[in-house]
Structures are given as structure tokens and as C-alpha cells.
Amino acid sequence: MSGTAILTADALVAGYGEMQILHGVSLELAAGEIVTVIGPNGCGKSTLLKTLAGLLRPQGGRIELNGLDITNATTRDRLRAGLGYVPQVRNVFGTMSVEENLRMGLFAVPGSIKDRQNSVREILPTLAEYWTATAGKLSGGQQQVVALGRALMASPTVLLLDEPSAGLSPKATSEVFHHIREISNRQGVAVLLVEQNAHKALEISDRCYILAEGRNQIDGTARSILNNPVVGKIYLGAYGEVE
């Protein structure tokens, strides 16, 4: 990793009731980095993001954001400290307009709605095309951009994105990934991405963590993971032929 860590997870243990899913997962994220977490179905990728976002209380380990211990902080406090989260499903308010969806992004943090909306529209100019539309009537790709926009309203320093390409066409996936790259490049936001679409995600990523059975397996630069034939065969093979 280059630069100082903005988000650190150390030896996270978490799960659901008696069922432990994460058995000591650790990771670091620096400002402006895009880092992808990949791994087999059910290995705990979404559980990791939920734990970082504060939806699941860890049974062990520590999470720090900007040097602040947020291990037991509420989701609201995490949001205020600069942690944004876009879940995989139900990530827009379907009956509200795009403009109203973005307003909702500022519910827990102080700020001028108009100023923030203007700033978000500069980073995601495509929002202007469907600004007054009802969010639930938009395509999957457009809804994903709305979800990104809503998360950006709170001026996060870190964005956690759970499978932003889920259910999208290859074209829509490329567009969403382009927006993610822009958010990182132009705003210096650190992005932690969980993805099934490992190849495409790695193409826009700086680094990668591979999880298996709730544990860290391999990590390295995205390039080294993409170029490693053994890793490619085991972890990327299933996705390698998908455009």
C-alpha cells in the first residue's frame, strides 16, 4: 500500500448469531485507492462490508477510520466520520425522484443540499439526464449511479461498495466502474469494492484482497493478481470469459 491508511481493519471476527463467518480478517485502505475484495461465493465478502459499515457488530478485532476507533460506533457516527456504504440491494428509494434520493444522502450530516447536489452532479454528470425521474423506473445501471450519488452527498472519505455491477450488462458495468474511478481520482475518495466481476474490478483497482472461508488468503497489487496464472485460474477463472 502506498500512503497512510485511512481505513484499517485488524483481525475482524464477525458473523450471525452463533455462526462465525469472518475468522480474523485484516485490511488497509489509503486515500484515493481503489481496493477490491474477491473470493468464492459465501466466503464473507458482504459480511466484511456490513461489519465495516456498522450493520454487524464484530465479536473481535478493531476498525479505525482516520485514526479514530470506530469498532463499536453506530452507522450514523461512521457516516459522520466519513464512511459511506452502498449496499448491494435496495440501494435507492424507488418511489422518490433522483433529486430526492440525493437529498436523503444528507440526512445525517450537516451541509447545504444545493451545494452538495451541485458538487455530486459535477462528479456524476450523467445524473442530470434523469434528475427528475422516479428512481425505481430507471435502469439498473442508472440506479447504481443514483446510489453512488446519494452516498457522495455526505462527502465521504471512504466508500464501501457491495457488488455495484450485480445484475448489470457489460456496458452498464463499464459505465459504473468508470464513475467509480472518477470518484476516486477527482475526489481522492478511498473505495473498497466487493465484486463477483473480478476481472473488470481489478482493471480499475490499485490493490486486491482475496478471501476464502472468512480468512485473508492472498493480497497484492491488482496487476500482480491479474498476472498470476495460479491465482487467476483459481479465483478469476470463472469470470475470465465473461465480457
Ligand X SMILES: Nc1ncnc2c1ncn2[C@@H]1O[C@H](COP(=O)(O)OP(=O)(O)OP(=O)(O)O)[C@@H](O)[C@H]1O
Give least dist CB 87 to ligand X, A. Answer: 11
C-beta closer to ligand X: residue 117 or 205? 205
Give least dist CB 120 to ligand X, A. Answer: 28
DSSP assignment letter at 97: B
Query: Which residues, numbered 33-92, are part of the site for ligand X (CB under 6 A)?
Result: 39, 41-47
C-beta closer to ligand X: residue 15 or 232? 15
C-beta closer to ligand X: residue 134 or 196? 196
How far apart are the C-alpha atoms of 198 and 239, rounded to whole Å?
7
CA-based nearest residue to 56, from 45, 65, 67: 45
Helix, strand, or coil (residue 155): coil
- Rule CB under 6 A: choose which of 4, 16, 136, 242 binds ligand X: 16
Give least dist CB 162 to ligand X, A. Answer: 8
Is residue 233 within 8 Å of residue 240, measured between CB atoms? Answer: no
Segment interacting with ligand X (CB under 6 A) among 15-23, 68-76, 141-149, 153-161: 15-23
Give least dist CB 194 to ligand X, A. Answer: 6
- Rule CB under 6 A: choose which of 14, 21, 153, 201 binds ligand X: 21
Query: Which residues, numbered 161-220, are part of the site for ligand X (CB under 6 A)?
Result: 196
CA-based nearest residue to 35, from 221, 205, 216, 227: 205
Query: Which residues, numbered 93-152, are part of the site for ligand X (CB under 6 A)?
Result: none
Give least dist CB 196 to ligand X, A. Answer: 6
DSSP assignment letter at 128: G
Which residues of the shown chain bind ligand X in the complex (CB under 6 A)? Answer: 16, 19, 21, 39, 41-47, 196
